[in-house]
Amino acid sequence: MRRLVWVWWLALALPVWAAQPVHARHAMVVTVEQNATDAGVAVLEAGGNAVDAAVAVGFALAVTHPSAGNIGGGGFMLVRFADGRSTFLDFRERAPEKASRNMYLDASGKATNESVTGYRAAGVPGSVRGFEHASKKYGRKPWADVVGPAVALAEKGFPVSYGLAKSLGGSAGRLGQFPESKRIFLRDGKLYEAGETFMQPEMARTLRRIREQGARDFYEGETARLLAADMERHGGLVTLADLKDYAVVERTPLTGTYRGNDIITSPPPSSGGPGILQMLGVLEGSGYEKAGAGSAAELHYLAETMRRYFADRAASMGDPDFVKVPLAALLDPAYIAQLRKSIDPEHATPSSQLHAGKPPGPESSETTHYSIIDADGNAVAVTYTLNFGYGDGVTVPGLGFLLNDEMDDFAAKPGEPNGFGLVQGEANAIQPRKRPLSSMTPTIVTRGGKLELVLGTPGGPTIINSVLEVLVNVVDFGMNVQDAVDYPRIHHQWLPDQLVMERGFSPDTIALLKARGHQVRMVGGMGEVAAIQARDGWLEGAADPRTEGTAKGY
């Protein structure tokens, strides 16, 4: 059930009533798209667990949310089991063997747009292998049952929503550069309108092979051969050997505490989990929350905390299989105390005067996130992506799915900004087989061993700060999960030196922030959080009113 988007703009800044989340007793699924949510709930009702539902949702979104849902990209899955165990599946894309450090620089040393658009922008996709790994190891339904809903959606079609119609039309410039993408997603110029049925027979055939043969088809079978051959024809880098060699990495989640809550979050190559833990550490004990949610004093402190982490992120973060990420030092209590002490409560610190810290010791904007809790109490948070909206724009003939442009998440030229304006260092330079640094931050919160909160969001580098803000809205300001998701957000990423603010804050608050020295830029919206809170025997699901997302349970 969706609430009208205009209510959010009217009620956010000074809410006089609480927006209500969707309530369910047993299980809950929150995604960005109704058909995908329905697919996840159907799998749960048929006896599947949260991992089964997560795989079904992931495949369904590849059909119904093509700007970010994918089998041609990659992502992260964070799982917290009912018995308290947790794990993190890294199925992030990987640089092909032919990738090289300076592959996106022209003769004068300037970065080109080849890391964003076209065949050379694609990394080796990980989603299909990741979903199969999760299903085999942690699911309980047959593989065909969890892939089946996506096959039906591609084969029979689904009604185009208003949001999808607008998204496809708005991406005509990108998709129209590639004949197969233009034919499938733009109907060769006869754009889809809301209410029309969108059928994808090529995608259906690909998904049927995956349903019958598993991930082997995508990485070694017909799908792999067609993909590799098309890459070779168009100067792409991904080969059959790259596909066959792709492997999921199962990592130990990062953990920390905040005001008595246990935080389970994403390890590198996510830069989000370290950021969440460092920023929560700076906030705890600062008293920032005493000024109240949405006050200039609270937002100033939050922005300064964000600014400091992103300075550290630029210098320290990368794929831990290739570089030493100084996690212990970045999260060292003494270093965090030093960061906290450096914040002036009355004045913004110019980013030109703030450089990456020297602690002691040795990510599209078009991503999507979904959160699931099953009847047994297992929780799954998945964030996966093509990077920019509709990835690199390429659809391989005969396969029906879009490819990622994840190579732009590397530092094409360390020290200079990428497509998101993020400055990144040597730790994230391009190397064959390396995974690019990501901002994706699936996160789970528990208290006293009991599940409390499951959340995440897309949004490029704004992901990290959006997750932080929803979390503290619940923990520090006592909001219900829907109000916490609805509340307006801010974002600071060190460089460029600007405080990005959603509309909904009062003019007086904005004026006070400018008086403190912040360079404010107003935007319409950031992120699309999908969150679930377990409270008082109920599951409360919150979809983001910034999107067409839905929460549904039973």
Among positive and negative, which fits the CA dihedral 543, 181, 248, 98?
Answer: negative
Cβ contact 516:529 at 8 Å: no
Q: pLDDT tens-digit profile of 232-263?
A: 999 999 999 999 999 999 999 999 999 999 99
Under the banding of pLDDT at 50, 70 and 90, the label for residue 10 is very low
Please, what is the average pLDDT of the chain? 93
Question: For residue 358, what pLDDT is reported?
Answer: 46
Q: Give the active site residue among 37, 117, 305, 367.
A: 367
Contact 51, 380 (CB under 8 A): yes
What integer pLDDT is reported at residue 553 of this predicted model?
A: 98
- pLDDT band at residue 5, thresholds of 50, 70 and 90? very low
| pTM of the full structure | 0.94
Residues 397-406 pLDDT 10s: 999 999 999 9
pLDDT digits (tens, 9 = 90+) for 452-511: 999 999 988 999 999 999 999 999 999 999 999 999 999 999 999 999 999 999 999 999
Q: How far apart (Å, rounded) are the C-alpha atoms in residues 470 and 485?
A: 6
Tokens of 195: 């209410």
CA-nearest of 214, 222, 74, 77 to 143 is 214
Please tell me which residue, 366 or 13, carries the higher pLDDT value: 366
Q: At what angle do helices 272-283 and 333-341 cross, to 10 degrees?
A: 60
pLDDT band per the 50, 70, 90 thresholds, residue 359: very low
The closest alpha carbon to 512, from 314, 336, 301, 361, belongs to: 301
**DSSP letters for 104-132:** TB-TTS-B-STTTSSGGGPPBP-HHHHHH
Confidence band of 356 (pLDDT split at 50, 70, 90): low
pLDDT band, residue 411 (cuts 50/70/90): confident
User: With 80 as the cut, is the pLDDT of residue 417 above it?
Assistant: no
Average pLDDT score over residue span 146-168: 98
- Mean pLDDT across the stretch 423-435? 87
pLDDT at 38 over 90: yes
Count of other CB atoms within 10 angstroms of residue 447: 15
Average pLDDT over residues 287-307: 98
pLDDT score at 528: 95
State how far the Cα of 488 lies from the Cα of 245, in Å rounded to an integer. 43
The stretch 527-540 carries a mean pLDDT of 97
For the segment 371-392, what is each residue's pLDDT rounded down to a tens digit?
A: 999 999 999 999 999 999 999 9
**In the predicted structure, residue 531 carries a pLDDT above the cut 60:** yes
List pLDDT tens digits, range 39-59. 999 999 999 999 999 999 999
Say if residues 195 and 214 touch (Cβ distance below 8 Å): no
> Which of 7-21, 74-88, 219-233, 534-548 is least confident?
7-21
Q: What is the pLDDT of residue 420?
A: 58
Band (160; pLDDT cuts 50, 70, 90): very high
Give the pLDDT confidence score for residue 4 in this predicted structure: 33
**pLDDT above 60 for 152:** yes
Task: Give me the percent of the chain exceeding a pLDDT of 90.
Answer: 88
- Cβ neighbours, 10 Å, residue 50: 31
Using DSSP, state whether 554 is helix, strand or coil.
coil
pLDDT at 365: 54
Residue 363 pLDDT: 40
How sure is the predictor about 412, in pLDDT bands with cuts at 50, 70 and 90?
confident
Domains plus CATH for the chain? 1-157+199-554 (3.60.20.40)
Which residue pairs from 105-108 have beta carbons closer than 8 angstroms and sit at least 24 positions apart in sequence?
Answer: 105/412, 105/413
Helix (H) or strand (E) holding 185: helix 179-185
pLDDT for 341? 97
- pLDDT category at 425 given cuts 50, 70, 90 is confident
Judged against a pLDDT cut of 90, whether residue 132 lies above it is answered with yes
- The alpha carbon of residue 42 and the mean position of all alpha carbons in its chain are separated, in whole angstroms, by 24
Q: Which two tokens stand for residue 176?
A: 């129209």
pLDDT tops 80 at residue 364: no
In this predicted structure, which of 57-61, 338-342, 412-416 has the lowest mean pLDDT? 412-416
Query: Is 367 in the active site?
Result: yes
pLDDT score recorded for residue 36: 98
